[in-house]
Amino acid sequence: MMPYSVNDSPLPINPMPEEKNNLQKRLEEIDRQSQDQELAKIYKLSQKNITTAAILSFLFPIGGYIYTARWKAFWILFGIIFGIIMLGSINERDEEKIDRLSTFCGVVAAIVSPIDNSIAIQSARDKINAMK
């Protein structure tokens, strides 16, 4: 009787490389799709009109973010403003002071939003031009 060797095994010796290769290909495809989606987002933003975004943002701050579809930036800005208003009014009983704080935050939003959206559009245009 001949001794049993590793090569006589009914199982494949190295099944992992093919599976690992398929997984690597899938991960690369997912990464490429993600990059394509990001590029499409940047391109769409670069096509927006800066003046329109600035006017919308100044008159109605959320309007500029709707126009540019920059939801993350919207939530960050308004989360900060909401937090300031909440922190400023926790122990405050004077409604007039709370109203002034809210008005101040509204003015800040009306100033920051047009600047933020305009910079984002210009930055997207610069990225697209750099890729050309």
Q: What is the pTM of this model?
A: 0.74
Model confidence at 62: pLDDT above 90: yes
In this prediction, residues 42-69 reach a mean pLDDT of 95
Q: What is the pLDDT of residue 17?
A: 61
Q: Dump pLDDT digits (tens) for 74-115.
A: 999 999 999 998 888 888 788 888 899 999 999 999 999 999
Which residue has better confidence, 13 or 31? 31
Burial 72-101 (b: 16+ CB within 10 A, else e): ebbeebbeebeeebeebbeeeeeeeeeeeb
Half-sphere exposure of 26 (CA within 13 A, CB side): 6
pLDDT value of position 8: 54
Give the model confidence (pLDDT) of 6-24 as tens digits.
555 555 555 556 677 788 8
